[in-house]
Amino acid sequence: MHRYDFSWNRRAHIRLSSRSIPRSQSLYFVQKTWSPPPVNLEGKVSYYPQERIAAMRARTAGLDRKAYFKDIAEQILKDTSTDKERVHTICQFVADSIYYNPIQLPESFEGATSQEFTSDNVTGNDTAIDAVAILELHDGRCGHGVMVTLALLEAAGIEGRMVPVNHHVTCEARYDGGWHLADALMFGANQPHRDGEVLSGDEIRKDPYFTDAFPLPYLYGTLEEYFTEDGFRCLGYAFGEMGSSGMPFYSYYWDAPKDNPPTLPYPLVTQRLGGQRVRLNWSPSFKTGNETIEYRVEIFSDRDCTNCIHRDVTRINYLEWDVPEMNRIYYFEVRAMDDHRKLNPDTWYMPVRNNFMLVPEDQYGWYGVV
């Protein structure tokens, strides 16, 4: 019997998508009615490598789907003791095992919207078949994550249900006498919770901005993941980078007005200003509505970014700083923050990291400073 490959390497898989679109393939993804073709479309429009799909079909031919998911559940849940722990473990497994691919979708789900995932087509044997395909391919988006999550919940003997929301679809799991959010691809094991209890969909709708404090680390990729083989951006029915399109704050999915976070403050080269003073640089961030952007900068002495030695907030896209010690590597994180903090002061903003070392000017080599 074919079994799930627990040795699958997530980082290696994601690298397959970096600059993976060849010149012979369109860099614009057509999906009527959302993104009709441009007048100068070049190349074949294809979302997914057909050879990868064919290999998956061959691997899973004749597979006992229920046994497949039962085997996974037994492996990942062997050290859990409560249904709450089991649900959190399942959500983390799904988040770790499915890449939220911004430019490629597996066969038969290209361009699918949450309205297409109804209770009729995410239950029963068809769900198991689709869930196996998604898990074996390791690429998917919200509806795919729901399929796999529900299949694993069923294998664990935990009741689950799909929850369609605004331009998104998620699910809930029933434990401890109630329903609780299980949005695996968004949050992994760290589902929005209050006083240790994961919220239900009904509770989130009453206070959607509460969820914006919880990190969404599985949604944001690097620029390389959006580039074609010859270095151009993938456009059309594709997810843009954070703050650009398609990635609003999580509260929007639960009926709050749409609001996108700022674009990321990409790191630029650090400059010498004389002596031991430097200027840390990053690209300016912007967002729809021309709101004022503030940058929170934290400088660390350790690579884990736990020992903060300087913290500042600025409205310009650089920070001047006196380096305490030459020939030491320093690490820093920059977050672009917007007015959404008025709705939730604890709104999460993704950090962008950089590092440098200040050395004597005549010391040959690359140290991240010019």
Is 277 part of any domain? yes
The confidence score (pLDDT) of residue 125 equals: 37
Residue 358 backbone zone (phi > 0: left; psi -120 to 50: alpha; other: beta)? beta
Tokens 């639960």 map to which residue? 254
Q: Closest by alpha carbon to 185, among 169, 198, 199, 197?
A: 169
pLDDT band for 113, please (50, 70, 90 cuts): very low
Query: Do both 79 and 197 map to the same domain?
Result: yes
Does residue 291 have a pLDDT over 50? Answer: yes
The confidence score (pLDDT) of residue 240 equals: 81
Query: Do both 151 and 50 map to the same domain?
Result: yes
Does residue 116 have a pLDDT over 60? Answer: no
Please report, for the domain that includes residue 142, its CATH number. 3.10.620
Is 308 part of any domain? yes
Burial class (CB in 10 A: 0-12, 13-18, 19+), 145: buried
Is 222 part of any domain? no
97 compared with 240, residue with greater pLDDT: 97
Q: What is the pLDDT of residues 132-188, one digit of tens each?
A: 999 999 999 899 999 999 999 999 999 999 999 998 999 999 999 999 999 999 999
User: The whole model's pTM is what?
Assistant: 0.89
Mean pLDDT across the chain: 90
Query: Do both 125 and 197 map to the same domain?
Result: yes
Does residue 302 have a pLDDT over 70? Answer: yes
Residue 99 near residue 14, CB atoms below 8 Å: yes
Tokens of 179: 């329903």
Name the least confident of 92-106, 169-183, 274-288.
92-106
Is 101 part of any domain? yes
Query: Do both 48 and 137 map to the same domain?
Result: yes
Range of the domain at 289: 271-357
Q: What DSSP element (H or E) covers 203?
A: helix 201-206
The confidence score (pLDDT) of residue 239 equals: 83
Domain count, the chain: 2
Interacting residues of 196 by C-beta distance below 8 A, sequence separation 6+ = none
Q: Residue 85: how many CA atoms within 13 Å on its side-chain side?
A: 7
The confidence score (pLDDT) of residue 107 equals: 53
Does residue 111 have a pLDDT over 60? Answer: no
CA distance 82 to 23: 51
The confidence score (pLDDT) of residue 119 equals: 29
Is 236 part of any domain? no
Kindly state the percentage of the chain with pLDDT values over 90: 70
Is 1 part of any domain? no
Interacting residues of 169 by C-beta distance below 8 A, sequence separation 6+ = 114, 117, 142, 143, 146, 162, 163
Query: Do both 209 and 350 map to the same domain?
Result: no
CA distance 250 to 179: 19
Query: Do both 186 and 302 map to the same domain?
Result: no
Measured CA angle at 12 (ends 10, 243), to 5 deg = 70
Dihedral angle over CA of 287, 288, 289, 292, nearest 10: 0
Query: Do both 165 and 61 map to the same domain?
Result: yes
Q: What is the pLDDT of residues 190-241, one digit of tens each?
A: 999 999 999 999 999 999 999 999 999 888 777 888 889 999 999 988 888 8
Kindly state the percentage of the chain with pLDDT values over 70: 93
Strand partners, 334: 297, 352
Is 369 part of any domain? no
Residue 112 near residue 167, CB atoms below 8 Å: no
Alpha-carbon dihedral sign for residues 65, 71, 75, 76: positive
The confidence score (pLDDT) of residue 181 equals: 98
Cis peptide before 33 (omega within 30 of 0): yes
The confidence score (pLDDT) of residue 126 equals: 39
DSSP summary character for residue 253: G
Q: What is the pLDDT of residues 42-67, one digit of tens each?
A: 988 877 888 888 899 899 999 999 99
Please report, for the domain that includes residue 352, its CATH number. 2.60.40.10
